[in-house]
Amino acid sequence: MTENAVLRMNNIRMKFGEHYALKGVSLSIRRGEVFGLLGQNGSGKSTLIKVLAGFHQPEPGSEVVLWGQTMALPLDPTEIKRRGVAFVHQHLGLVPSLTVIENMRVTSLGRRTPWFVNWRREAASVAGLFAEFGLDIDPLRTVAELSPVERAFVAIVRAFEDLRASDAGYGGEGILVLDEPTPFLPAEDVKRLFGLIRSIVKTGASVVIVTHDIDEVRDITDRVAVLRDGQLVDILDTKASARQAILDTIVGARIDAFQKNRMADQGVPVAVSVRGAPDGLGSSFDFDIRQGETLGVTGLIGSGFAALPYLLYGARRGAGRMTIGDRTIDLASLTPLAAQALGVAFLPGDRLGAAGVGSLSVADNITLPILAELGGFFSLDRRAMAREAALMSEAYDVRPANPSLNLAALSGGNQQKVLLAKWLRIKPKLLMLDEPTQGVDFGARQQIFKALDRAARDGTAILCASTDNEQLEQICDRIIVFSRGRPVAELKGDEISREAITEACFYSDQQEAAE
């Protein structure tokens, strides 16, 4: 249905080589609604957004109608912005070293005098704009000083201000497109972000949000379009659709959440022992991970748990000792290379910034830890690398099944499968993960969880640092909750649930503050 539609995309077809990423997708966005785009990694969501942004040129026969006017294809990014469509992408497009006000004004200086900027007046204007939405953000702070959710607020409010300055129809409300704005945020910050989105919709604007989180979709959207293999499968009324029904529509068949058989408390030997790890308060703490155990560490943002895997990999300086098998090493002198020699593997949360190389192929990334096995007398054996990459890509269901593609060309979930396969191939004694499924769809998450469970059953000890309580509930044998730099609570066995983890995080933090 297209009544009251501010945007219609009709028969959008997009081809990369011989592969159709979009196969005639048609949908419409209504005035004043929150419209969700859902689908597995590689389903075509991001491609559709990039067509609207003017980044991709669709095939002839595709049509985009904005405010009742058919737009010339390919879309001109400048014209789309002038006509009231603003985009906020996952990495936000902010410059950390600049102040909030400088980031806010960088997209609008062309509308102002190039000779002089009255920063005091601009700061007052930006502060007033924040105040409209109940935000208390100092315009003179640098973006690097802000929390992740405050950075998201800045990017979204900046985009909303661009809508106000545009030539959009129906009074200039505009269309705000949010591409994966929440994967780096804990649950409480997601609620705050959704409050901002609801405030923006009340002005008459429409919001399109791309996300993988079904609970988020049910919370914030009015309708949701489900894409699968480049085709529109259905458009659902969110409030009238059950969670499982949405999941089944995304996958095309019923897919059940992974359920772990938790490890028994006793009788399993210790694989990793850490003694004297610094807690940030002048004291220290000890902990063990058993062979084949998945240990989760969590807490509120800033509680210190997120630094632990970086410390145990030598990527962050600290004190204490780590023992793996019959080898002990001082954490103060540990380097990533020395950690790897101990049998430690680490998958950081920043996929393309720290975990993989986007400009290199899947084959180059997935075989990186085993290059010594794939070398000839004078060079690498590229054919052997390609064969190994093809085997691992098939084993971990990497799509598309083309190891010659650059890693950056894959969807987020498939990038994560490549990077996880890279480390699991060497059968590490300790595998550490930092937010391993952020930005990964439901189906791919279950595949990743099963791969981790297989590794654990083969004897690998796993340390997972995360704020995703649903994920921790699914994969962990034991969970340690941190507050103010140190462990303060432990959950194991039947004690583990999303509700119990959330309660432990907040109750422990309040207890620590009171002491």
pLDDT category at 1 given cuts 50, 70, 90 is very low
Percent of the chain surpassing pLDDT 90: 41
Q: How far apart are CA 126 and CA 135, in angstroms?
A: 11
pLDDT category at 280 given cuts 50, 70, 90 is low
Mean pLDDT over 177-197 rounds to 76
| Sign, CA torsion 289/292/298/304 | positive
More confident position, 305 or 170: 305
Q: How far apart are CA 53 and CA 172, in angstroms?
A: 18
Let me know: does 419 contact 356? Beta carbons within 8 Å.
yes
Q: What does the mean pLDDT of the chain come to?
A: 86
Q: How far apart are CA 74 and CA 55, in angstroms?
A: 9
Most confident among 249-253, 335-339, 371-375, 501-505 (mean pLDDT)? 335-339
Task: Output the CA–CA distances (angstroms, integers) from residue 347 to 304, 354, 382, 421, in the order listed.
Answer: 18, 8, 25, 10
Is pLDDT at 288 greater than 80 in this prediction?
A: yes
pLDDT value for 485: 86
pLDDT category at 170 given cuts 50, 70, 90 is very low
Is pLDDT at 252 greater than 80 in this prediction?
A: no
| pLDDT 10s digits, 71-126 | 988 899 888 888 888 888 777 788 888 999 888 877 655 455 556 667 788 888 88
Beta-bridge partners for 290: 270
Let me know: does 227 contact 38? Beta carbons within 8 Å.
yes
Helices (H) and strands (E) in the chain, counts: 16, 20
Is pLDDT at 302 greater than 80 in this prediction?
A: no
The answer for residues whose C-beta is within 8 angstroms of residue 297's C-beta and 6 or more apart is 305, 308, 463, 464, 465, 466, 479, 480, 481, 482
More confident position, 18 or 356: 356
Max distance between CA atoms of the chain, in angstroms, equals 74
**Which amino acid makes up residue 485?**
G
With H, G, I as helix, E, B as strand and everything else as coil, classify residue 156. Answer: helix
Least confident among 20-24, 63-67, 237-241, 438-442: 438-442
Let me know: does 268 contact 292? Beta carbons within 8 Å.
yes
Percent of the chain surpassing pLDDT 70: 91
Domains of the chain: 5-251 (3.40.50.300), 270-343+426-514 (3.40.50.300)
The distance from CA 489 to its chain's CA centroid, rounded to whole angstroms, is 27
Which H or E run contains 75?
none
Q: How far apart are CA 502 and CA 83, in angstroms?
A: 43
Let me know: does 350 contact 337? Beta carbons within 8 Å.
no
pLDDT category at 248 given cuts 50, 70, 90 is confident
**Which amino acid makes up residue 93?**
G
Which is it for strands 34-38 and 206-210: parallel, antiparallel or unpaired? parallel
Let me know: does 459 contact 431? Beta carbons within 8 Å.
no
pLDDT value for 509: 58
| Secondary structure letter of residue 72 according to DSSP | P
Place of tokens 């389903």: 43
Q: How far apart are CA 441 and CA 212, in angstroms?
A: 5
Let me know: does 172 contact 164? Beta carbons within 8 Å.
yes
Mean pLDDT over 267-280 rounds to 89
CB atoms within 10 A of CB 196: 18
Is pLDDT at 515 greater than 90 in this prediction?
A: no
Least confident among 150-154, 221-225, 437-441: 437-441
| pLDDT 10s digits, 446-495 | 899 999 999 999 999 999 999 888 899 999 999 999 988 889 999 998 89
**Which amino acid makes up residue 245?**
A
Q: How far apart are CA 250 and CA 513, in angstroms?
A: 43
With H, G, I as helix, E, B as strand and everything else as coil, classify residue 14. Answer: strand
The answer for residues whose C-beta is within 8 angstroms of residue 185's C-beta and 6 or more apart is 148, 149, 152, 193
pTM value is 0.68
Let me know: does 492 contact 479? Beta carbons within 8 Å.
yes
pLDDT category at 364 given cuts 50, 70, 90 is very high
How much of the chain is helix, strand and coil, in % rounded to 5? 40, 25, 35
Q: Taking each helix axis from N to C terminus, what angle separates 243-251 and 442-457, rounded to the nearest 10 degrees?
A: 80
pLDDT value for 110: 46
CB atoms within 10 A of CB 114: 7
Let me know: does 503 contact 479? Beta carbons within 8 Å.
no
Mean pLDDT over 313-317 rounds to 92
More confident position, 229 or 207: 207
